[in-house]
Amino acid sequence: MAGTSATLRQASWQARAISAVLRTFKRRHTTIDRLGVAHVYVKSTRLIIRCLEPFIPYRRTGLRIHPAVGAPVPAEWITPLAAAPRHTMLFLHGGGYLMCSPHTHRTLTTFFARQLPTRVLVPHYRLAPENPFPAGLDDALACYRWLRAQGIPAREIVLAGDSAGGGLVLGMLLALRDAGEELPAAAAILSPWTDLAATGTSLITNTFSEVWFYGESVAIAAKLYLGSTPATHPLASPLYADLRGLPPLIIHASESEAVRDDSVRFAAKAHDAGVPVELKIWPGLPHVWQAFIPFLPEARQSLDEIVEFLKNPPRTMASA
């Protein structure tokens, strides 16, 4: 596939150290479904994340972080103070559609704001299981349409998202295309969740090399998000959609993560549909390792490549 690359070099010692720490928390994911306490687990994890949010490292220097007054859902703006923004970014955070917030992802959003540079709008979209599909998608679409209503041309908007947020970005693009609306210039997607039917082989083969969760927990989280919606609904699982007409995409994922095949299979299908897509698979890194940019050299390398792509997205299909 054009634009696909992989490397055989080993992960850094920092990545191996962080992976070792993450594995110590992994066992909690093994018995959720068997004990029937998925909702309780989600609520307790949300509480833990909320307690940790003030300690998440990010650099606020040179940035203004403030509420997005007038936005259709609660959201925050991250605006660079020194440089004139070239774009407006709509960033959708991950968390399995069940947890996390704009605050938990500030290591990513502040980087994009500073390095593109760009204004970044980060919505606190509604979460499952209290608000199942399509609540989060509706919130994301409302935010994009709000940006357009402010007079921002679609060509000056870029999208980005990680994990579930990456799947949400793709669902947004499909919904906008189907509605006949003008699409943004490009999208950057970190380890996207594109198959809620959980059919990827890597869910099995990488269930132990994945340091965040076991492969079996993906289907459990999907049920909490989907409610009564079929797992192959194309706006929930973009892998099953007709992908023609999407804007340029860049996708970065880890060789060892459980949802690796969600990226690989989606990128192949997008390529076959004529979408300009660049896929890069990295060795031995945690799911959404870019969030560890204060510690991981691979995080900076990945995000630098993504920034360059978003500054100058391809206009035509690369040769196969």
Residues recognised as catalytic: 163, 257, 287
Q: Across-strand partners of 253?
A: 281
Answer for the pair 99, 42: CB distance below 8 angstroms, yes or no. yes
Structural Rg of the chain based on CA atoms: 18
In order, the DSSP letters of 37-73 are -HHHHHHHHHHHHHHHGGG-----TTEEEEE-TT-SS
In order, the DSSP letters of the chain are -TTEEE--SPPPHHHHHHHHHHHTTGGGGSSHHHHT-HHHHHHHHHHHHHHHGGG-----TTEEEEE-TT-SSSEEEEEESSS--SEEEEEE--STTTS--TGGGHHHHHHHHHHTTEEEEEE----TTTS-TTHHHHHHHHHHHHHHHTT--GGGEEEEEETHHHHHHHHHHHHHHHTTPPPPSEEEEES----TT---THHHHTTTT-SS--THHHHHHHHHHHTTS-TT-TTTSGGGS--TTPPPEEEEEETTSTTHHHHHHHHHHHHHTT--EEEEEESS--TTGGGGTTT-HHHHHHHHHHHHHHHS--SSPPP-
